[in-house]
């Protein structure tokens, strides 16, 4: 205890001196400074004086002591300034503050003596959060949970750890036997009629991160209000005294029915494929094949099976798992749908479950995000190194999925005559905006084609998209008579908007509230069938009609969260269709979207700030806040009647979106969590939005421009001109608000 007193005294002096210096020099915002002053030493002291932590993680305090002795004041402040709260899809934070610490975590296990605290993702934090979820489950009569994990460092160990907690709290646990895609978790929950689901994952974040995504019994994320209740009324009230564990080997079972996964007394059931995997300990418990039902389910969504059977074998596909859990699922699906010419990228270990992400070694902040051009270039270069330039040139598509396989990205070939519109490259990462527009066009077009040019039951259909996703999709939906709901960013918002439509809740055509941004053609209609939930950040699903029961997916629908494996297969069908027509995906986009007067050419372009990585520590948070405040000020000046322009384009109006999600974390009541938008026209087709990310400490500058007067003859020039203007607009505002690197 005397040693703890001495170490706390040293931390108190060092951290407070560091904070005072940061505040005096203007590097830290006043609100964040006061928050740090109030929280850091209090939280650090609580962890060091908690005797129960010693039993849960014997080496944890050693890591804190070593950080204090090394005077890592900035990092200690970040680790203890707050506790991880719910973000857009669960909890997410750094599992290690540095690469050497991450390596130790991998080599020495979850009790490695690295710096841990309430604002990092570690064994104690996972147990505390899970104890809150378990208490919520007990008080709401929830009795079963699906648990999975992806390729993150120690993901399996973390998954087994929380499984031990849920078993000790009386829940039945369905536990995946190897790294799995998040969409298989969200499929398994309603398929098995489970009440909850957790995936240990940090999705596309860089290798230092981990976390978990929490799903309800429907397979969707909890509604915002319920998620807030779980966090505030349960998770935040947990202490280490609330943590109970049993060994997996001691999970209750009925010896007479030990092979029956559905027997109520068999409380631990493994999920996987047909047979048991070598090297996996199943503790004599049942194994349930979840892969085959998932595959059978996906098969229902193919539009033209005869076409696919005829052409899939002629399509050359590359696939990059980005070190993730899609490495088996996507090739398995492609093969079953008849794609035989599939080249798996294994160079740099890209097909290995390695949470150190060895293909992303240039910078610890590189992200294995299939929607990131940098990641796309890594995949392309790895493919070329492995298979050669000639093999790459014959590819029709290179598909990528992120570590938990809920995002999909496509690299496609650019026709030679258009390469000057794509920075001179022979290939391009197709933006999610264009990918989803093309996918919906294909599905609408082929159905209408089979029904005399009219989309059947169009008056019952609707799509939901985030408010920063392209309006090209809105125009496409209107062309086919499909309703539109725009909501805030995140698939939880998309799924919950669908739920409101299913429930028959009247949605306002205009105006903002906690969930809906705006709607089009929804009032007075009997719309109930969702034919697309999609977002700019490479997320897609199709939720269908009202579900038949509380534990079911929507009728005729897929999982209620984004699914990169599903999207990959649906997009592969579009690639096969393009081959059957003797065209490329760019040809289809040009002819059926950009040159269609009912839709038009919408360019959507974004840049992150900083351009690489994220804002670090309290100083970085302050820089982010200052940029956002400068943008809010510009928005208010426009609203007051001042004439502004960006990149030479006059601003007509502005909106500031406050949904209240991250106000407390930033000590800013009116934190613009959904961004500040500047409109360049009255119709709203041309705009720029500055928005803070919901998954990392960075900002995004989004521009949407609709080119006018587009013809087949000038399309390439319009692409060049519009892209150049978008970059100029962003460069202008970045300079004004000092959002450089």
From residue 489, alpha-carbon distances to 304, 486, 516 in Å are 32, 9, 10
Where residue 94 sits, what CATH number does that domain have?
3.40.120.10
Report which of 460, 465, 520 is spatially closest to residue 497, judged by C-alpha positions.
465
Domain membership of residue 592 (yes or no) is no
In a shared domain, residues 272 and 311:
no
Q: What gap in Å lies between CA 40 and CA 13, rounded to an integer?
A: 12
Boundary residue ending a domain (504, 535, 561) = 561
Do β-strands 172-176 and 268-272 pair in parallel, antiparallel, or remain unpaired?
A: parallel
In a shared domain, residues 128 and 276:
yes
Q: What is residue 464's predicted lDDT score, i.e. its pLDDT?
A: 97
Do β-strands 649-650 and 645-646 pair in parallel, antiparallel, or remain unpaired?
A: antiparallel
Q: How far is CA 45 from the centre of its chain?
A: 34
- Say if CB 351 and CB 327 are below 8 A apart: yes
Domain membership of residue 149 (yes or no) is yes
Q: What is residue 27's predicted lDDT score, i.e. its pLDDT?
A: 93
Cα–Cα–Cα angle for 19, 23, 28, rounded to 5 degrees: 95
Domain membership of residue 581 (yes or no) is no
From residue 359, alpha-carbon distances to 149, 367, 487, 585 in Å are 21, 10, 35, 28
From residue 719, alpha-carbon distances to 107, 131, 390, 723 in Å are 49, 53, 28, 6
What percent of the residues of the chain are helix, what percent strand, and what percent coil, each to the nearest 5? Answer: 45, 15, 40
Where residue 449 sits, what CATH number does that domain have?
3.40.120
- Say if CB 136 and CB 234 are below 8 A apart: yes
Q: Per residue in 445-483, is it b (16+ CB within 10 Å) or e — as a string? A: bbbbeeeeeebeebeebbbbbbbbbbbbbbbbbebbbbb
In a shared domain, residues 233 and 121:
yes
- Say if CB 405 and CB 325 are below 8 A apart: yes
In a shared domain, residues 234 and 93:
yes
- Residues paired with 461 in a beta bridge: 529
Domain membership of residue 521 (yes or no) is yes
In a shared domain, residues 415 and 466:
no
- For 364-471, strand residue ranges (E) read 397-401, 408-413, 427-430, 461-466
Q: What is residue 3's predicted lDDT score, i.e. its pLDDT?
A: 65
CA atoms within 13 A on the CB side of 294: 28
In a shared domain, residues 405 and 496:
no
In a shared domain, residues 77 and 138:
no
In a shared domain, residues 464 and 378:
no
Structure tokens at 608: 């992150």
Report which of 500, 581, 498, 483 is spatially closest to residue 541, judged by C-alpha positions.
498
What secondary structure letter does DSSP report for 490?
A: S
The 10 Å Cβ neighbour count of residue 331 is: 17
Structure tokens at 227: 């998620």
- Say if CB 594 and CB 4 are below 8 A apart: no
Boundary residue ending a domain (546, 561, 576) = 561
Do β-strands 461-466 and 483-487 pair in parallel, antiparallel, or remain unpaired?
A: parallel
| pTM score above 0.75 | yes
Structure tokens at 117: 């605290």
Distant-in-sequence, close-in-space partners of 305: CB < 8 Å, separation ≥ 6: none
Domain membership of residue 620 (yes or no) is yes
Q: What gap in Å lies between CA 359 and CA 386, rounded to an integer?
A: 13
Domain membership of residue 53 (yes or no) is yes
Q: What gap in Å lies between CA 628 and CA 642, rounded to an integer?
A: 19
Q: What gap in Å lies between CA 406 and CA 325, rounded to an integer?
A: 10
H helices present in 533-681, as ranges: 564-580, 585-589, 617-639, 663-666
Residue 327 structural domain: 303-430
In a shared domain, residues 270 and 123:
yes
In a shared domain, residues 321 and 463:
no
Overall domain count for the chain? 5
Rounded to 5 degrees, what are φ and ψ at 160? -65, -35
- Say if CB 432 and CB 371 are below 8 A apart: yes
Q: Left (φ > 0), alpha (ψ -120 to 50) or beta: where does 352 sit?
A: beta
SS3 state of residue 319: strand
Q: What gap in Å lies between CA 727 and CA 734, rounded to an integer?
A: 10
Domain membership of residue 569 (yes or no) is no
Which helix (H) or strand (E) covers residue 461, if one does?
strand 461-466
Do β-strands 287-289 and 649-650 pair in parallel, antiparallel, or remain unpaired?
A: unpaired
Q: What gap in Å lies between CA 545 and CA 16, rounded to an integer?
A: 56
Boundary residue ending a domain (59, 81, 103) = 81
Domain membership of residue 677 (yes or no) is yes
Rounded to 5 degrees, what are φ and ψ at 180? -135, 155
- Say if CB 425 and CB 492 are below 8 A apart: no
Q: What gap in Å lies between CA 90 and CA 253, rounded to an integer?
A: 31
In a shared domain, residues 128 and 74:
no
Q: What is residue 214's predicted lDDT score, i.e. its pLDDT?
A: 95
Tell me the chain's radius of gyration from C-alpha atoms.
Answer: 25
The series of mean pLDDT values per 10 residues for the chain, 741 residues long, is 81 97 94 95 97 97 97 97 80 94 98 97 97 97 98 98 98 98 97 97 93 94 87 94 97 92 95 96 96 94 96 98 96 95 97 96 85 95 98 97 96 95 95 98 97 95 96 98 93 91 75 66 87 94 94 94 96 98 96 98 94 82 92 97 97 91 78 94 95 85 97 97 98 90 63
In a shared domain, residues 14 and 138:
no
Q: What gap in Å lies between CA 297 and CA 287, rounded to an integer?
A: 20
Q: What is residue 672's predicted lDDT score, i.e. its pLDDT?
A: 93
- Say if CB 139 and CB 131 are below 8 A apart: no
Q: What gap in Å lies between CA 265 and CA 252, rounded to an integer?
A: 7
Do β-strands 602-609 and 687-692 pair in parallel, antiparallel, or remain unpaired?
A: unpaired
Matching residue, tokens 């992806």: 150
- For 620-723, strand residue ranges (E) read 645-646, 649-650, 653-657, 675-679, 687-692, 699-706
């Amino acid at each position: 205890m005397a040693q703890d007193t001495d170490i706390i005294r040293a931390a108190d002096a060092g951290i407070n001196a560091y904070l005072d210096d940061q505040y005096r020099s203007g590097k830290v915002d006043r609100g964040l400074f006061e928050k740090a002053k109030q929280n850091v030493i209090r939280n650090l002291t609580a962890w060091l004086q908690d005797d129960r932590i010693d039993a849960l993680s014997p080496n944890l305090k050693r890591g804190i002591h070593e950080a204090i002795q090394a005077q890592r004041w900035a990092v200690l402040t970040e680790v203890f300034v707050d506790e991880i709260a719910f973000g857009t899809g669960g909890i997410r934070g750094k599992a290690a503050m540095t690469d050497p610490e991450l390596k130790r975590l991998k080599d020495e296990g979850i009790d490695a003596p690295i710096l841990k605290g309430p604002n990092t993702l570690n064994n104690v934090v996972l147990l505390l959060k899970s104890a809150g979820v378990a208490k919520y489950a007990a008080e709401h009569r929830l009795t079963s949970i699906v648990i999975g994990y992806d390729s993150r460092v120690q993901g399996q160990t973390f998954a087994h750890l929380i499984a031990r907690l849920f078993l000790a709290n009386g829940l039945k646990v369905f536990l995946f036997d190897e790294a799995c895609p998040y969409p298989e978790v969200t499929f398994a929950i309603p398929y098995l009629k489970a009440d909850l689901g957790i995936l240990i994952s940090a999705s596309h974040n860089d290798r230092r991160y981990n976390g978990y995504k929490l799903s309800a019994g429907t397979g969707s994320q909890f509604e915002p209000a319920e998620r807030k209740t779980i966090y505030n009324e349960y998770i935040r009230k947990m202490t280490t005294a609330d943590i109970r564990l049993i060994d997996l080997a001691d999970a209750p079972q009925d010896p007479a029915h030990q092979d029956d996964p559905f027997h109520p007394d068999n409380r631990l059931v493994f999920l996987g494929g047909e047979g048991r995997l070598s090297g996996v300990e199943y503790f004599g418990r049942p194994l349930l094949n979840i892969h085959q039902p998932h595959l059978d389910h996906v098969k229902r969504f193919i539009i033209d099976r005869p076409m696919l059977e005829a052409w899939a074998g002629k399509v050359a596909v590359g696939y990059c798992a980005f070190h993730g859990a899609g490495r088996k699922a996507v090739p398995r699906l492609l093969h079953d749908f008849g794609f035989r010419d599939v080249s798996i990228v294994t160079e740099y270990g890209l097909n290995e479950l390695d949470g150190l992400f060895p293909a992303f070694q240039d910078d610890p902040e590189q992200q294995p995000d299939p929607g990131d051009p940098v990641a796309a270039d890594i995949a392309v270069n790895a493919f070329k190194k492995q298979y050669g330039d000639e093999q790459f040139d014959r590819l029709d598509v290179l598909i990528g999925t992120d570590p938990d396989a809920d995002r999909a990205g496509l690299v496609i070939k650019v026709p030679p005559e258009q390469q000057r519109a794509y920075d001179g490259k022979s290939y391009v990462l197709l933006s999610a905006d264009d990918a989803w527009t093309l996918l919906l066009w294909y599905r609408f077009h082929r159905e209408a084609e089979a029904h005399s040019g009219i989309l059947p039951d169009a008056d019952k259909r609707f799509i939901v998209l985030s408010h920063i996703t392209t309006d090209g999709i809105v125009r496409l939906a209107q062309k086919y008579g499909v309703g539109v709901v725009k909501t805030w960013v995140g698939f939880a918002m998309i799924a919950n908007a669908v739920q409101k439509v299913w429930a028959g809740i009247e949605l306002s055509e205009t105006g903002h509230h906690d969930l809906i941004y705006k709607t089009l053609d929804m009032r007075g209609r009997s719309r109930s069938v969702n034919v697309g939930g999609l977002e700019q950040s490479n997320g897609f699903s199709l939720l269908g009609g009202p579900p038949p029961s509380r534990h079911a997916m929507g009728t005729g629908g897929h999982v209620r969260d984004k699914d990169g494996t599903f999207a990959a297969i649906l997009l592969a069908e579009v690639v096969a269709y393009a081959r059957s027509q003797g065209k490329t995906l760019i040809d289809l986009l040009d002819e059926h979207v950009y040159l269609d007067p009912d839709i038009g050419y919408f360019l959507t372009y974004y840049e992150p700030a900083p351009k690489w990585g994220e804002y670090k520590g309290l100083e970085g948070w302050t820089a982010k806040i200052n940029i956002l405040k400068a943008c809010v000020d510009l928005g208010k000046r426009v609203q007051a009647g001042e004439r502004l322009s960006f990149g030479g384009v006059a601003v007509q109006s502005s909106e500031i979106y406050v949904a209240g999600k991250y106000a407390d974390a930033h000590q800013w009541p009116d934190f613009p969590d959904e961004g500040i938008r500047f409109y360049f026209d009255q119709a709203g087709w041309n705009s720029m939005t500055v928005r803070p990310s919901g998954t990392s400490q960075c900002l995004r500058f989004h521009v949407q421009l609709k080119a006018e007067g587009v013809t087949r003859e000038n399309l390439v020039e319009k692409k060049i001109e519009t892209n150049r203007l978008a970059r100029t607009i962003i460069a202008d505002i970045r300079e004004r608000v000092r959002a450089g690197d």
